[in-house]
Chain A
Amino acid sequence: MPKVTVDGVELDVPQGATVLQACEMAGKEIPRFCYHERLSIAGNCRMCLVEVAPGPPKPQASCALPTAEGQVIKTDSPMVKKAREGVMEFLLINHPLDCPICDQGGECDLQDQSVAYGRGATRYDENKRAVTEKYMGPIVKTVMTRCIQCTRCVRFAEEVAGVEDVGAIYRGENMQITSYLERAVGSELSGNIVDLCPVGALTSKPYAFEARPWELTKTLGIDMMDAVGTNVRIDARGRQVLRVLPRVNDDVNEEWANDKTRHHVDGLTRRRLDQPYVRVNGALQPASWAEAFAAIKAVNAGSSVAAIAGDLADCETMFAAKTLVNALGGSLLEGRQTGLDYDVTSLSAVNFNTGIAEAENADVILLVGTNLRWEAPLINTRVRKAVWKKGAKVFAIGPEADLTYKADWLGDDASLVSKLPAHVTDALKGAERPMLVFGGGALSVPGVHGAGLALAKSVNAIKDGWNGYNVVHFSAARMGSLMLGYGLPGGIKDVVVAKPKLAFFLGADEVDFAALPDTFKVYVGHHGDKGAHAADVILPAAAWTEKDFTTVNTEGRVQRSEKAVFAPGDAREDWSIFRALADALGVTLGFDSFDACRAAMIAAVPALGVEGIADYGWTVPKLPAKPEARAIPSPIKDFYLTNAICRASPTMQRCSQELIHGADFAEAAE
C-alpha cells in the first residue's frame, strides 16, 4: 500500500494503482480522453498530465504511471495547468469547430474539457486536417474529421467485443480510425463505441440529429430485450422514447449494452396496437374497450382459461393475469411459449447460479447448446474476459458459432453431455471454479437437464462459495414467470391438451397458434405481430418503456424499471386491463391500483419485493439423465429479430439484413 500525497493530502492507495487512480481517490478530477477504466491503458491523448515528484522535471501522463511510495503528486500547479492548456490546444488544432451540427454536443468530453481546461481562444490559423468518413455499419455514424485518435474504439473492439475489425491505419497526421476496408463492424456490441467516443467522431446512426441531450427526460429502466437485465436509462422527449443508453451496474452489464437494447426503440413507435380489436367474420375490426370485453365475456369460458406469457412480459403483468385466471377458476399458466418443457420444480436448477459478474472468474467452462453471443451478449463478454484475461478454457457442445474466443467444439450431439470425452471431464474436475452453462436449445432435448445436473455433481461444480451450474435464458420474462408459477409440467403441450375455451396471450408471439384452434385467443400486447394476427380479441397494452414493472434476469436478480412515457392511443398498462376485464367478467382481483397490484404480488411471492438476487437455495430435482442422441437445435435464428418490438424496428431490420444476411448497404464512395 504505497503512501502518496495528492495536492497536499496524504493517502494510501492499493498496490499497482496508477497515479490517475490515486488522484481520483483523493477526489481530484483528472481530465482524460484515451483512458477508460474498463479498457487497457493507451496513454496517447496526454490530457491527464500531472506533476509528480520524484521524477523528471516535466509533467507526466498519470494514467500510465504507477504510484510509488512517497510520491508527491500535484494536480493544480501552474505546470499542470499549462500542460493541460497545451495538450488541449494541440487536440483542437485539427478538431473542427462544428459543435452546432455535431450530435455529441452537450455530452462531449472534448467540449466539456476545453471549457474546463482549455485556453479559451485559438492561436491556430493554418488549414485544418480533413478525414474522409468511414463506413462502420448500420449503428455507427462516423465524422472522422472530429476524431482525436484516442483509440478507445479500437481497444473496445479488440478487448471487450472481441471482433478485431477496427484499427488505426496510416501514421502521424494521416492516422485514421477505420473498420477493416470500411466494412460493417460485425459485432452485436458495436453501439458501445458510440458511448466510448469522447468526441463526435462516432455517433449513433439511427439517432442522428434526433435530439439534444438536454431536451431529454431520463428514466431509469431495465432492458427487456434479453434475460441479462441490462440496466438502462430511457431518454425520451415528449411521448417518444428516442434512445436507450446503458447505466453502470458492475454486477450485471458493467457499462455496456448490446445493439438490440440500444436500437430497438424505433420499433416502439411502429406497428403499435393503439386500440382494441375484435374479430368479426374472420377479420379484425376496431372496437371499443367495452365491445372487446363484451366479446370476451360472451365466450362464457367458465374456468377453462389459460394465460401464456411472452418474452417481454413483466412480473406485474403476469401476476395480474394469473390472478384473473385463478379468480375465474383456471390454473393453466405457461411462459415457455415455444414449447420448452424442462422441469421447473426447482428454480435453482434453471437459474444462472454462478452469477453474471462471477462468470468472469471461472477457469474451465462448458457451454452446452448455447450461442451466448446471441442469447446473452453481455454474459458472453464475461466469458470472453475469463478467457482473454485469466486464461480460462472453454469447451462447447452444440451448433458451432463464433463466440469471439477460442472454444473447443466437441460436436452438437446432446448425448455428449452424459459421455463427455475424458480430457473434458478431467479439465472440469481439475478446475477450481468450473462453470457449466446450458442454453435453451440444450434444455429442449429431453434428458439434457437431468444429465447436466448429474454432470455438475460428478465434476464437483457446486462447492463452498461457488455454484458452477447455470442455465442461460434468452427471454427477459423467464425467471419472473417461473417465480410466479408460469410453468406446467408438460409445457405448452399441457395447455393444448386441456383445450381451454379462453386464453390470454401476454405479448406471446412465438406460440404455435394453430395448435389451439378452438380456443378464444385474447392478445394483450403492444405490437401487431404474429400474436395479434392470430387473436380473436386484441387488448392494446403498454410496452416496457410505458409502465413501471419488476423483472427478474437469468441469474435471479429482481430489478425494477420505471415508466418513461405513456402508451399510445387507447393502450393501457397491462395490470389495469386485467383489473377492468375482471369487472366485466364479474370477478375481483383484490387490487385497484398499480401499487396494490405490486403489493399483492409481493405478498404472493415475497422474493419479488426485494431488489437483488433472489435466493433459490440449491435443490436438485430427480430427473431422467439419459439425453437423446440428437443434434441440439439453436433457438435464435436471427439475433436482431427476436421479438415483436425488434421486428417492428427499421434499425433492427437493417442490422438483420446487413449483418446476418449479408446485404450490402455500404454507401458509395464520394
Chain B
Amino acid sequence: MADAPQIPDEAETRARWGAFAWTAENAEKAKAVIARYPAGRQRSAVMPLLDLAQRQVGAETQTQGWLPVPVIEYVAAALDMPFIRAYEVATFYTMYNLVPVGRYHVQVCGTTPCLLRGSDDVMAACKNRGMVKGKTTPDGLFTLTEVECMGTCTNAPMVQINDDNYEDLDFDSMSSILDALAAGKQPKTGPQNPKRHTSEPEGGPTTLKEMVSSNHDYRKEW
C-alpha cells in the first residue's frame, strides 16, 4: 500500500505522547461535545473529539496537528470505546492526519473540475517551493497533499490550507499565497480573482437576470 500512511514508530510515539491529556480549555469543550449526545451514546462524540485532539496536538507542536496512537487511545478511553473502533474512524477520514504535518497543510484539489481549471498549475506552484506530495518540507512549514473534491467547484481550482479555502487560483496567486504564509502573514482567503466576491459569475449574472433587482415571474415566458 504505497499510498497508505506509514504510522510513525510506536515506541517513540508512545514516549512522546503517552502522557497526552486535555488542556483545561479543551476538557471543557470535550465535555460540551459529549453532552450533545444522549447518555450511553457518548461514542458518537468520537469525531469531534478526535478533531479537538488533533488541534491540541497541533497547538503543542506549532503545526496543523496529527493523531499519534496514544492520543487516539486517550480519546477512545474517554468515550469508553475499544481502541480499534476509534482507530478505524481516524484512519477512515482523510482530515485526521496519522503522520505529523507541517505548520501549513496544503491540500490541493485534483478532482476533474479543478483539474480542468488548472490545478496542475497550482500543484506546480507548490512543487516550485520545494514541496513533495505527501511530504513535509525540511523547514517544517508546508505539507502537500493532493485531495479529492472539496466542494468548491464553482471557484476551481482551489486549495485548502489549514482551515481556510483559497479559490480561483493560478500559478501566480498560489505562489503569492505560499510566500505570504511563509513570511508569517495571513493572505486573503476565499476567491483570489479580484472580480469575484464569492462564487458569483464573473462580470455579473448570466442567468435569471431579471431577478437581480426585483421578483420576476418567469412562468409567462415558458
What residues make up the interface of A, taking CB atoms closer than 8 Å to B? 130-132, 164-171, 174, 176, 179-181
Contacts and interface: CB of A to CB of B under 8 A. Distances in A.
B4 interface: yes
Interface stretch (B30-38, B58-66, B85-93, B208-216): B85-93
Given A165-B82, A180-B87, 16 more contacts: A132-B1, A164-B84, A164-B85, A165-B84, A166-B84, A167-B85, A169-B91, A170-B92, A171-B91, A174-B3, A174-B4, A176-B1, A176-B4, A179-B84, A180-B84, A181-B10
Contact of B1 (A131, A165, A166, A180): A131
B158 interface: no
Nearest to A157: B84
B69 interface: yes
Given A180-B83, A181-B10, A181-B69, A174 B88 contact: no
B89 to A, nearest CB: 10
Contacts of B84: 164-167, 179-180
Contacts of B82: 164-165, 180
B36 to A, nearest CB: 24
Q: Interface size class for chain B?
A: 10 to 19
Closest 4 CB pairs of A and B: A164-B82, A167-B84, A169-B91, A180-B84
Interface string B171-207: 0000000000000000000000000000000000000
Contacts of A180: 82-84, 87
A174 B1 CA distance: 7
Contacts of B4: 170, 174, 176
Given A131-B1, A132-B1, A174-B4, A167 B88 contact: yes
18 contacts: A132-B1, A164-B82, A164-B84, A165-B82, A165-B84, A166-B84, A167-B84, A169-B87, A169-B91, A169-B92, A170-B4, A170-B91, A171-B92, A174-B1, A174-B4, A180-B82, A180-B84, A181-B87
B16 to A, nearest CB: 16
A164 B81 CA distance: 9
A158 to B, nearest CB: 8
A130 B4 CA distance: 12
A180 B10 CA distance: 13
A56 B36 CA distance: 37
Contacts of A171: 91-92
The SS class assigned to the B binding surface is helix
A170 B3 CA distance: 11
Contacts of A179: 84
Contacts of A165: 82, 84
Contacts of A174: 1, 3-4
B69 A168 contact: no
Residue of B1, B69, B84 with most chain A CB atoms under a 10 A cut-off: B84
Nearest to B81: A164
Residue of B1, B10, B83 with most chain A CB atoms under a 10 A cut-off: B1
Contacts of B88: 167-169
Interface in B53-111: 69, 82-85, 87-88, 91-92
A151 to B, nearest CB: 11
Contacts of B10: 181
A179 to B, nearest CB: 8
A230 B88 CA distance: 34
A130 B88 CA distance: 20
Residue of A130, A131, A132, A170 with most chain B CB atoms under a 10 A cut-off: A170
A404 B210 CA distance: 68
A181 B10 CA distance: 9
Interface string B1-19: 1011000001000000000
A11 B55 CA distance: 59
Contacts of A167: 84-85, 87-88
Contacts of B91: 169-171
Contacts of A176: 1, 4
Nearest to B10: A181
A133 B87 CA distance: 18
A185 to B, nearest CB: 11
A383 to B, nearest CB: 20
A387 to B, nearest CB: 15
A434 B82 CA distance: 30
Nearest to A174: B4
B73 to A, nearest CB: 9
Contacts of B85: 164, 167
Contacts of A132: 1
Nearest to B92: A171
A180 B83 CA distance: 7
A414 B97 CA distance: 52
Contacts of A169: 87-88, 91-92
A129 to B, nearest CB: 8
A454 to B, nearest CB: 37
Residue of A164, A166, A167 with most chain B CB atoms under a 10 A cut-off: A167
Interface in B123-148: none
A180 B4 CA distance: 16
Nearest to A164: B82
Contacts of A181: 10, 69, 87
A179 B149 CA distance: 31
B108 to A, nearest CB: 19
A317 B82 CA distance: 47
A132 B84 CA distance: 18
B10 to A, nearest CB: 7
Contacts of A164: 82, 84-85
Residue of A130, A131, A164 with most chain B CB atoms under a 10 A cut-off: A164
A529 to B, nearest CB: 38
Nearest to B90: A169
Nearest to A165: B84
Nearest to A129: B1
A599 B71 CA distance: 66
Contacts of A130: 1
A171 B98 CA distance: 14
Contacts of A170: 1, 4, 91-92
A573 B1 CA distance: 55
A168 B87 CA distance: 9
A169 B84 CA distance: 9
Nearest to A131: B1
B107 to A, nearest CB: 17
Nearest to A163: B82
A208 to B, nearest CB: 24
B11 to A, nearest CB: 12
A174 B2 CA distance: 10
B31 to A, nearest CB: 24
A181 B92 CA distance: 15
A168 to B, nearest CB: 6
A145 B4 CA distance: 15
B195 to A, nearest CB: 38
A131 B83 CA distance: 22
A58 B91 CA distance: 33
Nearest to B91: A169
A103 to B, nearest CB: 23
Nearest to A175: B92
A132 B3 CA distance: 12
A328 B84 CA distance: 63
Nearest to B6: A669
A167 B82 CA distance: 10
Residue of A165, A166, A169, A176 with most chain B CB atoms under a 10 A cut-off: A169
